[in-house]
Amino acid sequence: MVFSSGVFMFVFLPALLIVYYAVKGRAVRNYILLTASLMFYAWGEPVFIFIMLASILANWAITLIMSRSSWPKLWLTLAVSIDVVILGVFKYAGFITENLGLPRVNIALPIGISFFTFQMMSYVFDVYYGKSQAQRNPLYVALYISFFPQLIAGPIVRYSQIEAEIDGRNESLDAFCEGVRRFIYGLGKKVLLANFVAQLADNAFGYVVSPSVMMAWLGAVAYTLQIYFDFSGYSDMAIGLGLMFGFHFEENFNYPYMAASITDFWRRWHISLSTWFRDYVYIPMGGSRVSHSRNLLNLLTIWLLTGIWHGANWTFILWGLVYFALLVIERETGKTPGHVLTMLAVILAWVIFRGNTVTGGLRYIASMFGLNGNAFWDGGFVFCLKGSWPVILAACVGAFPAAGRFLRSRKVLEAVFLCAVLTVSVAAAVSDTYNPFIYFNF
């Protein structure tokens, strides 16, 4: 089920809100949310829900034993090993067998497996490090893992961040209204901006022969905008939905395209993932409190894992290594590249990320600089730009905070704007075909 679908907006969410607020008692409301979340996931993944539930039960049981054991590290290793094996089998088995020269193993990928697996490991780590108490009620652990707003595409919520809210949150009208506001902004980002520029990106990247230089740049910029508004739009909707039910999720994006360095970019982009790797992998490995060469190895490990986390393809691995190289150069030179060079690097990295193969991605970058003997521009570029420049301009404005700050300072104007966004977004969503979020694949 997709947040921007008619069945979610007009059936699932209204029915859940009515039932949720019609009953009293925290435990009853939690079980309603758990049931609804499992139904939400089973809507598109009726088989894989049993794998998720089995994994939840295993992590709950092992963590409960770990909290009472004299050998907690042994149980931690067991829980993490189970999670990694499950993730590896479903997400990477085909990639591994193919690259070993063996017959490719094709296994269907459960939607959102990377997100809910990392949340399960977060629960185990938080209990192991003493940040949280082991939860005795397995249904509450299941609610934390499967809660539908963040189940499929994040943000990756730490158990320690919402542990108290599972059994002690306070729903309020102010939080509910803020949740509706965030949901509408996220819906507009996805339906009105991301879906539109996605068509431009698909056209440019879909050229049988090399696109013209200008068409290649238009496609790269379009994909840069698409992946931001698609993913941040989902995060906005997830945060908004959480607020409707009394949960407070941390921000996942902070205007990353205004970054003045690669380091700054990764403090602003997919914050829940970068901080997860920092706290649960980088710091336990020694972080920066080790020798220079060991620290470089730690960084290399983190960025290899970041690339691999995104998918079973060499393009993602290369993408991670590119950021490793850029961050090391930035740190070793002590120089800040500035906004323009940072965005140039980000755009080129997204091209690699978007490519079906490494060769295809590098060939596309060559087209951006006219190195494939391609024309500077062509009729396709002129046609696409004439029909899309207002949306591209709106997306560029929306990628920076000025417009949002202006609207928030004028409540009446913002209310009118939100009503307009909701109306147009709903109309577009109802008439559109199924268009899942990019990060459903990860």
- What does DSSP assign to residue 23? S
CA distance 233 to 3: 10
Do residues 150 and 273 touch, judged by C-beta distance below 8 A? no
CA distance 72 to 125: 11
The one-letter code for the residue type at 348 is: L
- What does DSSP assign to residue 437? -
CA distance 323 to 139: 39
Do residues 389 and 235 touch, judged by C-beta distance below 8 A? no
Do residues 242 and 150 touch, judged by C-beta distance below 8 A? yes
Candidates 211, 213, 231, 186; CA nearest to 350 is 231
CA distance 199 to 111: 23
- In angstroms and rounded to an integer, the radius of gyration of the C-alpha atoms of the chain is 22
> Residue 292 catalytic?
no
- What are the start-end ranges of the H helices in 245-311? 262-268, 271-277, 292-310
The one-letter code for the residue type at 412 is: V
CA atoms within 13 A on the CB side of 296: 9
CA distance 227 to 241: 21
Cis bond leading into 155, ω under 30°?
yes
Set 248, 270, 292, 310: catalytic member: 310
CA distance 319 to 329: 16
SS (H, E, C) 342-376: HHHHHHHHHHHHHCCCHHHHHHHHHHHCCCCCCCC
339 Rama sector, left if φ>0, alpha if ψ -120 to 50, beta otherwise: alpha
Q: Which long-range contacts (CB under 8 A, 24 or more apart) does 339-344 make?
A: 339/258, 339/259, 339/260, 342/259, 342/260, 342/261, 342/262, 342/264, 342/265, 343/257, 343/259
Three-state secondary-structure class, residue 260: coil
Which residues does the annotation mark as catalytic? 310
